[in-house]
Structure 1
Amino acid sequence: MLFNSYEFIFIFLPITLLLYYLIAKKTGSIYAKYFLILASVAFYSYWDIRNLPILLVSIAVNFFAGRRIVETKKKNWLIAGIAFNLLFLAYYKYADFFLDNANTLLHTSFSHLDIVLPLGISFFTFTQTAYLVDAYKGETTSYSKSDYLLFVTIFPHLIAGPIIYHKDMIPQFSEESRYKFNFDNFAKGITWFVIGLFKKVVIADWMSNVANLVFEHSEHLSILEAWGGSLAYTLQLYFDFSGYSEMAVGIALMLNYNLPINFNAPYKACSIIDFWRRWHITLSAFLKNYLYIPLGGNRNGHHMRNIMITMLFGGLWHGAGWTFVIWGGHSWMLYLH
């Protein structure tokens, strides 16, 4: 179920909002929280219910690992939790990519596993990995099962981000004001949502039609048509991600929750560094705080190595293919420049 689909706009969202506030008013915040968990799980399952066990297994393993980290302060639990997340992500997102490269390098003939990529796996995996690291650093406590489940599954962020952090989201679940209808938040949320919807449906989707038409006839293009297609594709990506990011913020505001801003007019950037700070803000922050700095940052004379590893990882995060690796490497060189 996409944010711009009729099912979401005219059925799922209004029913969810109505029942959320009605349940909170009639029975209390705890039941409204349970309802929002149920609604989020239903939202995720609508895409493909076969993905639900994958999400729930990830949540169960990370919740247990986080509890053990908080209780024992042992690094082994952190390593085990992160290893699980990386292997989990590698299997579902990169298995066929690895097999293709193994076949090429080793002249083998491994068959594709043809794994269907679970919806939002990168987002809920990174969200939980950050939680494990923070737990080891002593920056969290043992959350309740319901708080943790809602933190990971809350539907505005689940399919396209942003990457959210426990210290920003979970405290909101305990505030009674979140369960009372707030006209100002609702009005702001609708505004954010409508602006994002316009960017997605009117601009991005139209640009997608133009770009697809050009790419389908790539062998017979003039130079102006080629540049036009490239520009259309650029604008499609820009307004698609910008639109989804704003719709997510708007939906959360309608529910009285604050999601982090994930997109801030990157084409207004004055430098490549400023660009990365504006485009997919939560991913850039994750890579910086949970990869670049733990690698050593700019200390010990390994600044360029650490940037290279971080940017290559960021490139691969976007997709399983050498084009993404090359893009990450190219971004690293631009960053240094």
Structure 2
Amino acid sequence: MLFNSYEFIFAFLPITFFIYFYLNHKRLTVASKGFLVFSSLFFYSWWNIAYLPLILISMLFNYVIGNSLNKEIEENKKSFSKKSILIFGIVCNIALLGYFKYADFFIENFNFAIGTNVNLLHLILPLAISFFTFQQVAYLVDSYRQETKEYDFLNYALFVTFFPQLIAGPIVHHKEMMPQFANNRNMVKNYRNIALGLFIFSIGLFKKVVIADTFAVWATAGFDTAITLNLFEAWATSLSYTFQLYFDFSGYTDMAIGIALLFNIKLPINFNSPYKALSIQDFWRRWHITLSRFLRDYIYIPLGGNKKSSFRTYSNLLATFVIGGFWHGAGWTFLFWGFLHGIALIIHRLWSNLGFKMWTWLAWFITFNFVNIAWVFFRAKEWDDAVKVLGGMFSLDNIILPEKLESKLSFLTNYNIEFGYWAENIKGNDFTAIAVILGFILILAFRNSMEKGKDFKLNYKTALLSAICFIGAILSLNKASEFLYFNF
């Protein structure tokens, strides 16, 4: 079930909200939690009920392992050590994820390297497996560190399946979620949270349906359909995807945070205007913040972090981001995207250690363009698609300007510059250029939704903005459009 669908907005969400608080009003706390778990599993099963047993088995397995890690274990020959149990739990989780997400990738590369012809499994990736796997791995590690105090399966199931963040995050910690569900004050409707939740949800819905899906048309045409791209088409393609990805995923996160607030639950901030970043390190402190936190706490630091030699620190950075790239998708383009970001972070650290600085505008320009170029590999389905887009972006051999400029700039024909329909291959028009400019204005000149939420006051201005965003989005719900991170 999509957040941006009529059935979710006008049926599932209001029904779940009212029944949950009705049960709490009747002091049926256990029943209200059970209903929320049931609703979340129904929400998950809406896509494909065949994978419902998978998430149930995963939850039960990790609950048992987590409980084992919370208990005092006598170190003797008849019992396993906590470290052994933790390793076993992590290996099983990664094996499950690896089987569904990476089996065909490894088979393809094995066939290519050895010259064999092993049949691919053609497995359909279970929805949200990357997110609930990482979330439960974090739970196991936290249990090993004695940072969790939960022994009830119903509460654990609620932690894993809570539907606003189940499908694509934010990736949450047990210790930041369960105290909220246990707080009696959160079991009563909070009208300020409801107003703020609807405000943030409306902004997120508008981001996805109106902005991201508009850019999606040009990005999809440029990457997947067009055979060749001229200079402006190539830049319009890459920038369209850069904006599409941001407004799509941050829109999802806004909706998740807004929906959770309806239930008096505060999810962690996942985006903080990442395209305003002045360095690649700053970018990763702003982009997909909960994933960055996971990579830092459960991969980078366990590898040694920056506590060893400089070479080891740089190696740990590179390994962390290559793993992060591979988590996003089973393909060499994802690995290379992670590699690029790892190298960029190493260069930034070297630059900072040498004490060099640069102008603010130049720092932003370099950071944004690096991120934009790296996204080309992230989006491309094949290497050829990336080469096509990047080739067009940096080639001066194929420049086409709008035909209406020919009368004033006709002398440019002497330099092999043509005039005509400049955006034909990406199904664009003059509005494409306007939209890209508006995209820059939105990401650079305006406060983000989380900043607006901090000083939120229910008045005619916020009510009007919510209404405009909500109605504009609803009127644009003319077709089902999945979120990009559902693929990861």
Change (3 A) 1:100 1:72: farther
Residue 143 of structure 1, CA deviation: 2.3
Highest Rg: 1 or 2? Answer: 2
Off by >4 Å, runs of 4+ in structure 1? none
Q: Which residue number corresponds to residue 119 of structure 1?
A: 127
Match of 1:286 in 2: 294
- Find the counterpart in structure 1 of residue 325 from structure 2: 315
Which AA in structure 2 matches 1:326?
A: F
Q: Determine which of 248, 273, 276 is the counterpart of 1:240.
A: 248
1:215 and 1:70 map into 2 onto residues whose CA distance is 49
Residues 163 and 282, structure 1, Cα contact 8 Å, conserved in 2? yes
1:57-86 deviation per Cα after TM superposition (whole angstroms, max 9, x unaligned): 110110011111111452111011001011
Q: Is contact 2:150–2:156 with CA below 8 Å preserved after alignment? A: no
* Matched ranges for 1:158-307 at <5 A: 158-301=166-309, 302-307=312-317
SS at match of 1:219: coil
Deviates more, 1:2-11 or 1:217-226: 217-226
- Taking the aligned partners of 1:249 and 1:310, their CA distance within structure 2 comes to 27
2:327 is matched by which residue type in structure 1? W
Taking a change above 3 Å as real, the CA distance of residues 132 and 33 of structure 1, as seen in their structure-2 partners, is same
Alignment of 1:98-113 (within 5 A): 98-113=106-121
Amino acid at match of 2:325: G
Following superposition, the deviation at residue 215 of structure 1 comes to 3.2
Instruction: Give the Cα–Cα distance (whole angstroms) in 1 for the partners of residues 223 and 61 of structure 2.
Output: 43
Who is 2:68 aligned against?
68
Counterpart-to-counterpart distance in 1, 2:46 and 2:336: 35
Which residue is 1:88 aligned to?
96
The answer to which of 248-257 and 106-115 deviates more is 106-115
Q: Residues of 1 paired with 2:325 and 2:250: CA distance?
A: 19
Q: Is contact 1:197-1:244 (8 Å) kept?
A: yes
State the shift of 1:214 in Å: 2.9
Q: Which amino acid aligns with 2:316?
A: N
**2:227 aligned counterpart, secondary structure:** helix
TM-score (norm 1): 0.98
Structure 1 match to 2:340: 330
> In the alignment, residue 100 of structure 1 is paired with which amino acid?
E
Map 1:19-98; keep pairs closer than 5 Å: 19-73=19-73, 74-98=82-106
1:231 Cα deviation (Å)?
Answer: 1.1
Q: Which amino acid aligns with 1:101?
A: N
SS of the residue aligned with 2:137?
helix
Relative to the length of structure 2, the TM-score reads 0.68
For the residues of structure 2 that align with 1:188 and 1:308, how far apart are their CA atoms? Answer: 40
Q: Structure 2: state its 5+ residue gaps.
A: 74-81, 348-488
Cα distance in structure 2, aligned partners of 1:308 and 1:201: 35
CA distance in 1: counterparts of 2:48 and 2:102, whole angstroms: 20
SS of residue in 2 equivalent to 1:258: coil
Which amino acid counterpart does residue 148 of structure 1 have in structure 2? Y
Q: 2: CA distance between counterparts of 1:59 and 1:219?
A: 46
Higher helix fraction (1 or 2) = 1
* 8 Å contact from structure 1 (residues 218, 226) kept in 2: no
| Letter matched to residue 258 of structure 1 | K
Cα deviation for residue 26 of structure 1 reads: 2.1
SS at match of 2:8: helix
Cα distance in 2 for partners of 1:170, 1:9 equals: 26
AA matched with 2:320: T
Q: Is the 8 A contact 1:29 1:176 kept in 2?
A: no
Say whether 1:3 aligns with 2:21.
no
Q: Which amino acid letter does the alignment assign opposite residue 83 of structure 2? A: K
Partner SS state of residue 11, structure 1: helix
Please tell me the root mean square deviation across aligned C-alpha atoms, in Å.
Answer: 1.1
| More relative contact order, 1 or 2 (CA 8 Å, 6+ apart) | 2
Give the AA of the match of 2:335: V
Question: Deviation per CA, 1:216-235, whole angstroms, max 9, x where unpaired?
Answer: 55324321112112111111
Residues 321 and 23 of structure 1: is their aligned pair in 2 closer, same or farther, counting only changes over 3 Å?
same
Q: Distance in 1 between matches of 2:106 and 2:17?
A: 43
Number of aligned residue pairs: 337
Encode CA deviations 1:119-157: one digit per residue, 9 max, x unaligned.
Answer: 111111111111111111111224211110000000000
Residues 267-298 of structure 1, C-alpha deviations (whole Å, 9 max, x = no match): 01111001011110000000000110011101
Deviations, residues 21-61 of structure 1 (Å, cap 9, x unaligned) = 11111242221111101100100011110111110111011
